[in-house]
């Protein structure tokens, strides 16, 4: 019998009302040409930051001497992954929130994901992110990719120079931010995460899906 295939789109819908990181460019879409105005086709003009919605951070985002988004290895962005559900008492995910696993792509589902159900336009500073101790543990585990369900991998009040970002990106761990895991159960999936190939960019939006296969 053929396996059953379920596909989960865990990308945030991009629109003008989507919450963005404070100070980042707001997304706008206008029609550069319009059939209604007599043009031959509709062509959109987009204005947005590289870290809008579901996106991938490149090492260059926080380490000036490192590579841009177009240099990320595709084999880190595609492959088996584990969705881990964790709800720490504060705003930091801890080493104990990471189970013993051989998976090298880890996505953290927290109470953040419930926020996306209402399509909020206001940024929430009390989101859950990865704590520094967990970031160090992820490096020690030689993780290829870590994904989180809000707009930053580390909590809002993290001190400069943002040690969680620096720790992960210096180790060339791919960071995926802004996932919507509200309709996804914890467990094993195949991850397909493809950021736009923007040469030299510090990041890029990414359409991201999870695939689960099961035998009837």
Give the E-state strand segments of 14-168 in sequence order.
28-33, 43-47, 55-57, 78-85, 92-93, 105-109, 129-130, 145-148
Q: Is the pLDDT of residue 216 over 90?
A: no
- Three-state DSSP at 71 gives helix
- Number of C-alpha atoms within 13 angstroms, CB side, residue 129? 24
What is the average per-residue pLDDT within 119-141?
Answer: 94
Contacts of 85 (CB under 8 A, 6+ apart): 109, 110, 186
CB atoms within 10 A of CB 6: 11
Say if residue 58 is exposed, middle or buried (CB neighbours under 10 Å; 0-12, 13-18, 19+): buried
The confidence score (pLDDT) of residue 117 equals 81
Give the C-alpha separation, 64 to 97, whole Å: 31
What share of the chain in percent tops pLDDT 70? 99
Residue pair 12/143 in contact (Cβ under 8 Å)? The answer is: no
Report how far residue 39's alpha carbon sits from residue 37's, in angstroms, rounded to the nearest whole number. Answer: 6
pLDDT, residue 1, reads: 66
Sign of CA dihedral 34, 35, 36, 39: positive
Q: Which of 171, 167, 175, 188 is nearest to 149 (CA)?
A: 175
Peptide bond connecting 8 to the previous residue in cis, omega within 30 degrees of 0? no
pLDDT of 3 reads 79
Answer positive or negative: Cα dihedral of 55, 201, 154, 145.
positive
What integer is the mean pLDDT of 25-45?
97
Pick the CATH number of 4-16+49-214 from 3.50.30.50, 3.30.420.280, 3.90.1150.10, 3.40.190.10: 3.50.30.50
Q: In terms of pLDDT, which residue wins out, 148 or 213?
A: 148
Cα→Cα distances 48→121, 204, 214, Å: 15, 10, 38
Residue 121: pLDDT band (50, 70, 90) is: confident
- The residue with tokens 């706008």 is 28
Write down the domain spans for the chain.
Answer: 4-16+49-214
Average pLDDT (115-128) is 88
> Across all residues in the chain, what is the average pLDDT?
96
Q: How large is the average pLDDT for residues 29-33?
A: 97
Would you please indicate which residues are annotated as catalytic (active-site) residues?
61
Task: Enter the tokens of residue 97.
Answer: 């929130």
Per-residue pLDDT at 212 exceeds 70:
yes
Asked if residue 209 has pLDDT above 80, the reply is yes
Q: What is the pLDDT of residues 143-196, one digit of tens each?
A: 999 999 999 999 999 988 999 999 999 999 999 999 999 999 999 999 999 999
């Amino acid at each position: 019998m053929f396996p059953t295939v379920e596909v989960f789109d865990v990308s945030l819908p991009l629109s003008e009302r989507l919450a963005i990181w404070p100070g980042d460019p707001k997304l706008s879409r206008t029609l550069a040409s319009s059939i209604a105005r007599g043009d031959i086709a509709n062509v959109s003009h987009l204005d947005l930051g590289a870290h809008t919605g579901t996106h991938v951070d490149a090492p260059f985002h926080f380490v000036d001497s490192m590579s841009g988004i177009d240099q990320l290895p595709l084999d880190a962005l595609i492959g088996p992954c584990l969705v881990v559900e964790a709800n720490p008492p504060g705003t930091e995910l801890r080493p104990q929130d990471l189970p013993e696993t051989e998976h090298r792509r880890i996505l953290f589902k927290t109470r953040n994901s419930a926020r996306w159900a209402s399509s909020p336009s206001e940024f929430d500073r009390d989101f859950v992110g990865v704590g520094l101790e967990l970031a160090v543990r992820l490096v020690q585990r030689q993780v290829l990719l870590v994904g989180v369900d809000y707009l930053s991998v580390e909590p809002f009040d993290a001190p400069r120079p943002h040690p969680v970002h620096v720790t992960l990106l210096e180790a060339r761990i791919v960071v995926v931010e802004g996932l919507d895991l509200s309709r996804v159960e914890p467990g094993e999936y195949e991850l397909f995460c493809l950021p736009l190939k923007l040469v030299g960019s510090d990041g890029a939006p990414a359409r991201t899906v999870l695939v689960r296969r099961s035998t009837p």
